[in-house]
Amino acid sequence: MKHSLKVGFSFGVTSGIITTLGLMVGLHSGTHSKVVIIGGVLTIAIADAFSDALGIHISEEFENKHTSKQIWTATIATFLSKFIFALTFIIPLLLFELPTAIRISIIWGLSILCLLSYRIAMEQKTNPWKVIAEHLGIALIVIILTHYLGDWIASRFR
């Protein structure tokens, strides 16, 4: 896979997992509203996908070592992977009761993060368990913090 596609895809998928799960867990803890969470996921899929794509675009331009085509490839790959991946979290919300949908989404997101981390470790010829643990640890910190932040907001503003 070309560098530009790797950058865009890995960034988009990782951001799609962390941002969307954090948002979903926080909104669930704070509102327990399926409609609010679906709206949040759709907002992430659009606004944050554009934001991340522009961030990658500017970052790649700033390096001053990529062609225009490479920069745009990374930009589009970031947008599409973030947009499409974030939208996959809507499926459990449409098919299951909210608590079950949240659990399924967490399992789905962390599973994809494990696969991506494993792939990274194999390409770097390093211990996959170390890479997976590092990436899952960060994701779990986000999930835990957003859960308690949602609880705190709900207790303060109801």
Q: pLDDT tens for residues 44-72?
A: 999 999 999 999 999 999 999 999 999 99
What pLDDT was estimated at residue 1? 61
What pLDDT was estimated at residue 158? 76
Q: Please classify residue 92 by burial: count the beta carbons closer than 10 Å to its beta carbon, then call 0-12 exposed, 13-18 middle and 19+ buried.
A: buried
**Which residue positions in the chain have pLDDT lower than 70?**
1
- Single out the residue of 81, 83, 74, 84 nearest to residue 54, CA to CA: 74
- Answering whether pTM is above 0.85, one says yes
Asked if 25 and 40 touch (Cβ cutoff 8 Å), the reply is no
As a whole number of angstroms, the distance between CA 100 and CA 14 comes to 23
What pLDDT was estimated at residue 103? 98
